[in-house]
Structure 1
Amino acid sequence: MTRIIAALFLIVPGIIAAYGIKLMRDSLFNELFPIFFHLGIQFFIGFLLFSAGIAFIGGFIVYRDRKKQLIKKKK
């Protein structure tokens, strides 16, 4: 059961990061969503979503590896 919950904790930020990539790609191809009123803002929001998703996944992996002592602790 805990593995399913852990997988969900990784799937949701992955979807958020993928949506961020989609927003950035669409702004590069001049496809503006009605929510955003400028392409630059759409790109910036997409970059924030992408960065947050990747940072969460990376932090989760580092925390798990430190817990299992696969990574040496900082001095």
Structure 2
Amino acid sequence: MLRFIALMLLVLPCVIAGYGIKLMRDTIMQELLFPWPSLAIQFLAGFILFVAGFSFIGGFIFHRDRKNGKVAPRFQKRPKQDNPH
């Protein structure tokens, strides 16, 4: 069941990013969709949706790889140091 939930957590951002790409493509083709009042707002909304979905997926993969120790040394978590000051 947990794997299914994890899969759904990755599918939803993919769908959101895909819808953002569709909005940007429709704007380039000069096709205004219903809820958007102008092409500029439609493109901006598509760009925001694309970046949000893409960054969620990237962050998820980065977090998983960092947890499993598969990232470069500069991205590894540093142990917390007690500051005597």
Which runs of 5 or more residues in structure 1 are unaligned? none
Which structure: larger Rg? 2
CA distance in 1 between counterparts of 2:23 and 2:47 reads: 8
Normalised by the length of structure 1, the TM-score is 0.93
In angstroms, what is the RMSD of aligned CA positions? Answer: 1.1
Higher relative contact order (CA 8 A, sep 6+): 1
Residue in structure 1 matched with residue 26 of structure 2 by the alignment: 26
Number of residue pairs matched?
A: 75
Q: Does the alignment pair 1:37 with 2:55?
A: no
More helix by share: 1
Partner of 1:33, secondary structure, is coil
Misfit runs of 4+, over 4 Å: none
Report the TM-score, using the length of structure 2 for normalisation: 0.83
In structure 2, C-alpha distance between the alignment counterparts of 1:67 and 1:31, rounded to whole Å: 44
